[in-house]
Structure 1
Amino acid sequence: MMVRFDHVGISVPDLEAATAWYCAALDLTAAPPFAVAGTDLRGVMLLHEESGYRIELLHRPDAGPGLAAGSALEAVGTLGYGHMCLCVEEVQAEYDRLIAAGATTRMTPSPAPRAGATVSYVADPWGNLIELIDRKEA
């Protein structure tokens, strides 16, 4: 049986603003928004056309705040979702681009524990962690 990762879901306080930010910052395309009948849940699936990865943004008006980690180390100190990771060609360039788009620094680009790789963390405008890593061979 073949299994593959499909998408990550992120609960956001403002579906329209988050859709606009993720589409602009990560070059994603939004599918038509959806609503779950009988609930106050709305959402939208975002797709990266070139690589095929997807992010599902979800919104409930009365949702409470969750983990807003100041670092990757802090995120792994709480059970549950910690971050999503994007493999990029140049970590520094993508880091700079996301900071210019409104992300905030959590860890500047630096050598990763994996030899020959570079890693960085930023947070989207709602505090969700995004890891950036290159997978250059050592």
Structure 2
Amino acid sequence: METQNVTIQVPVRNTQSPFSQMRGAHVAVRVPDYEASKKWYMEKLDFRLIHEWPFGDLQLAYLAPANDDNFWVELLAGGAPETKANYTDLNESLHPAGYHHFCIDVPSVDDTLRELNNRSVTVVGEPFNLPAIGKRLAFIADPWGNLIEFAERLA
């Protein structure tokens, strides 16, 4: 694996903005089967169930990674969602407009994929280094075609 140090210039924080208190909280993922999707995220990714509730004809849940209380995935299930394409090629997935994926940082992309392969998770393409951002990346798909990126900081 090729490594290189990359410095990304992050602008100075704007503490004077009326939105300066905004923080990331969660991403919502639309799935057709509540129980199956909740089980998949909990068994395949070791997510924890934080809270669940009904909303109209939908069932919702907040799930969090095994050791992170700052980022949650919200499952939206029920009703009759439209079918989403299941991609086996990352480049193919980049063409449609709209939501594409969410990302989770990991210490090692390769170790993460090895464990996910043991858990029969669909890997979308091969892992790759992206020197422009100093990261090694890989993508998986849940059974309903929702993409998840794993990112490792390159040394």
- For Structure 1 versus Structure 2, the TM-score category normalised by the shorter chain is 0.7 to 0.9
Matching residue within 122, 128, 133 for 2:140: 122
Q: 2:111 maps to what in 1?
A: 93
Deviations 1:89-112 (A, max 9, x none): 010111122222232121222222
Q: Provide structure 2 residue ranges, at least 5 long, that are not aligned to the other structure.
A: 1-19
Q: Rate the CA distance shift 1:45–1:74 in 2: closer, same or farther, 3 A.
A: same
Q: Do structure 1's residue 23 and structure 2's residue 42 form an aligned pair?
A: yes
- Summarize deviations over 1:11-52 as a string: whole Å, max 9, x none: 11211111111112222111342101xx21111110225222
Give the counterpart letter for 2:68 in structure 1: S
Of 25, 30, 38, 1:6 maps to 25
Aligned to 1:59: 77
Larger Rg: 2
Question: Post-superposition shift, 1:116?
Answer: 4.7
TM-score of the superposition, structure 1-length normalised? 0.85
1:40 to 57, 60, 65: 57
The number of equivalent residue pairs is 135
Superposition CA RMSD, Å: 1.9
Amino acid at match of 2:21: M
Unmatched segments (≥5 aa) in structure 1: none
User: Out of 92, 98, 103, which is 1:74 matched to?
Assistant: 92
Structure with the larger strand share: 2
The percent identity for this pair of structures is 30
Question: Helix, strand or coil: the match of 2:62?
Answer: strand
The TM-score with structure 2 as length reference comes to 0.77
Greater RCO between the two (CA within 8 Å, min separation 6)? Answer: 2
Say if 2:146 is the partner of 1:133: no
